[in-house]
Amino acid sequence: MVYRRTKKVDQRLESRLQAIMQAAREEFARNGFYGTSIKDIARRAGVAVGTIYLYLRNKEALFAALVNEAYEMVLERIAQARKKAVGGREKLKASMEAALEVLQEHRDLARVMLVQSPAGHPAVSEQLYDLLRRLARLVEEDVREEMERGALPPQDARLASLAFVGTFYQVVMGWLKDGYPTDLTAAGKDLIAYNLRGLGYPPEGEEEDG
């Protein structure tokens, strides 16, 4: 027995998987689920078709892995950001800032998830919307909390949270498809302000901190 799971071998394996994932990210990002063939991905990854199946069960699983990667990344980053924030208002801000940050850092992944996943594959297409749904629920909680505190006027919290999330979604799409805004995180500031006003916070934020 000579061939063994050495560190070097493990690294090669890991880097192979990464090459495949990266190739898939690029291809799916550009051409969508149905517009991308396994052969395309293999070619780009510099790997034989069969090799892909050593790492991923099938095409759908590969796509799902990518979408899930983005999903987890966004949620985790938001969770971290929220831990540090205190109060509904700060949590709202922190959440959205964090989300924009991750997406900005992983543009291809963002494309796969936001642009390509919707009709990607029945089994996967729900995931994007599920993410948005979860984000909306976070927002909703914060909004309710603030309503109870009297910091926000009574309103349909669920509807407001949809609106809130929608502004971010649309701006990210603009960034992905039209290149506007150029800097996603910079735009985030304005966006947050827009939504805080929309929710009914008094302008200038004077009441909260005062």
Residues that bind its own copies (CB under 8 A): 31-35, 115-120, 122, 125, 129, 132-133, 136, 155-156, 158-160, 162-171, 173-174, 177-178, 180-181, 187, 190-191, 194-195, 197-200, 203
49's contact among DNA, its own copies, none, with CB below 5 to 8 A by partner kind, is: DNA
118's contact among its own copies, DNA, none, with CB below 5 to 8 A by partner kind, is: its own copies
13's contact among its own copies, DNA, none, with CB below 5 to 8 A by partner kind, is: DNA
Which residues contact residue 114 at a Cβ distance below 8 angstroms, ignoring those fewer than 6 apart?
128, 169, 172, 173, 176
166's contact among its own copies, DNA, none, with CB below 5 to 8 A by partner kind, is: its own copies
Q: Which residue ranges make up the site for DNA (CB under 7 A)?
A: 1-3, 6, 8-9, 12-13, 16, 36-39, 47-51, 53-55, 58-60
How near is the Cβ of 1 to DNA at its closest, in Å? Answer: 5
Tell me whether residue 33 or residue 164 sits nearer to DNA (CB atom).
33
Continuous H helices in the chain: 7-31, 38-45, 49-55, 59-84, 88-105, 107-110, 122-149, 157-177, 184-199, 206-209
How near is the Cβ of 48 to DNA at its closest, in Å? Answer: 3
11's contact among DNA, its own copies, none, with CB below 5 to 8 A by partner kind, is: none
> Considering Cα of 74, then 75, then 76, then 77, what sign does the dihedral take?
positive
86's contact among its own copies, DNA, none, with CB below 5 to 8 A by partner kind, is: none
**Residue among 14, 43, 11, 48 at smallest CA distance from 26:** 43
Tell me whether residue 166 or residue 205 sits nearer to its own copies (CB atom).
166
Tell me whether residue 120 or residue 188 sits nearer to DNA (CB atom).
120
CB atoms within 10 A of CB 154: 8
55-84 burial: b if 16+ Cβ within 10 Å, else e: bbeebeebbbbbbebbbebbbebbeebbee
Q: Which two tokens stand for residue 49?
A: 């078709």
Q: Which two tokens stand for residue 63?
A: 């796509």
In Å, how far from its chain's centre is CA 6? 35
How near is the Cβ of 79 to its own copies at its closest, in Å? Answer: 22
How near is the Cβ of 101 to DNA at its closest, in Å? Answer: 33
